[in-house]
Structure 1
Amino acid sequence: MVNAMDTPGRPTNQLTASQYLRFSTRYLHESLESQIDWSAALSNLAGYCRLLARIQSVQRPVDNALDALLPKAPDQPHERRNAAWLDRDLAWATAQPDGPDKVPQREPVDVSWIGTPAEAAGVAYVFEGSTLGAAVLAKQARDNLGASPDAGCEYLSAYGSQTVPRWRQTQQWLDRSLATEADTAAAAAAAQRAFLAYAQAIGGQS
């Protein structure tokens, strides 16, 4: 556990590592959500492709960093959602009769600052946590675009009925892995930077 410090809205009692990450990033999460018109992005296939391409521009470099710093081990909860899921969704969208002819190209977001396992854990917190809210977006993609978890909406559907249980596993893994105050502080700083990187990639989506 770590002592609460000066992040906006954080309580003063001791927190687990995953709780610390949540309170350290809550204001950035709320700011990001306010920047994006999800409904507009999911109203047609062209907008959907733009959204997925923007997510892909940060998801792929994050995948590479996490794979290097968090190699598969029994202590890790599960295989993470990754950019290959976006590749398949984009291929589906561009193959539809009313879909765009090609995938929009985006410059990869620079995440070279992810340099330690603790920082990678903080970034994993952000990207795995995003699977929870994605369920609402997945429903819009199904309703508006005719996508499904198996065809066109794999990424937003995340882990399906296992999304919440897997998130709990991730929280438990974070609490075990971030065993010192220094590691937890490093993870929190990286999680904040991850939200900023995500905002750089998809903020202002229309």
Structure 2
Amino acid sequence: MLSQAHDVGAPSLLDALRTGTALLHVALEKRMPFFSERLDADWYQRLLQAYHGFYAPMEAALYASARIPNGFDAASRVKTPTLLSDLHALGLNDAAIHALPYCTALPRLDTPAACLGTLYVLEGATLGGQVLRREMARRLGIDADNGGAFLDVYGAETGRRWKDFLDYLGNQALDAKARQRAVDAARSTFSCFERWLDSQEVLL
């Protein structure tokens, strides 16, 4: 539950999330194929389809939960529409996209703290997007207009939006149990995402 009092000497929510997810983050990053010499246009499309198969149900569950603490601007941060646009740009029509598999093993979003943990992972994933898009442009000729908009979804606003999100996290008064729920949800989000990408055979 959300608490009005911070525990004296306890790590901040951000510190707890960073520490609690660091190993999972590094492990998943090592398996991403963006910088693999074997990555081609077909693999890239399958990767984006897999991303859509996770983000679409994940964001739907998050925003339907009605448990995200006040102050989060979901309308400007939802990423599924950008993925849809990219898949259309890659040649998929609505019927083909609708027929794609969707992840059903999602993290539990049964508390506001759990929502915060999942949002930390989804927002953190936007960092480094400009590097990824430059690499895909160099390697595959993919840019924001032909299937690469999601890679750098916030563009030049990435740094400011991340800072705004950190400010939002910093304004959440969570007790120790709630902080742990946030960390557990963040870890679960990483694990669910990796298992899903693995099942779609798009990881190294």
TM-score using structure 1 length: 0.80
Deviation at 1:158, TM superposition (A): 1.7
Verify the 8 A CA contact 1:118 1:178 in the aligned structure 2: no
Deviation at 1:133, TM superposition (A): 2.6
Per-residue CA shift, 1:15-72, capped at 9, x if unaligned? 2211210111001001111222222488432111111011111111110122123578
Inter-partner Cα distance in structure 2 for 1:50 and 1:135? 20
Does 1:80 find its partner at 2:85?
Answer: no
Match 2:147 to one of 144, 152, 155: 152
Q: What stretches of structure 1 move > 4 A for 4+ residues in a row?
A: 70-74
Partner of 1:91: 88
Matches within 5 A, 1:11-90: 14-40=10-36, 43-69=39-65, 75-77=71-73, 79-90=76-87
Inter-partner Cα distance in structure 2 for 1:87 and 1:154? 10
How many residues align? The count is 191
Comparing both chains, which one has the higher relative contact order based on Cα–Cα distances under 8 Å and sequence gaps of 6 or more?
2
Inter-partner Cα distance in structure 2 for 1:190 and 1:112? 6
Inter-partner Cα distance in structure 1 for 2:167 and 2:38? 33
Does 1:180 find its partner at 2:178?
Answer: no
- Stretches of structure 1 lacking an aligned partner (at least 5 in a row): 4-12, 96-101
Per-residue CA shift, 1:107-146, capped at 9, x if unaligned? 3242162222211110000010000033221112222232
Match 1:166 to one of 155, 158, 161: 161
Letter in 2 for 1:168: K
- Stretches of structure 2 lacking an aligned partner (at least 5 in a row): 1-5
Inter-partner Cα distance in structure 2 for 1:128 and 1:42? 28
Letter in 1 for 2:62: L
Does 1:116 find its partner at 2:111?
Answer: yes
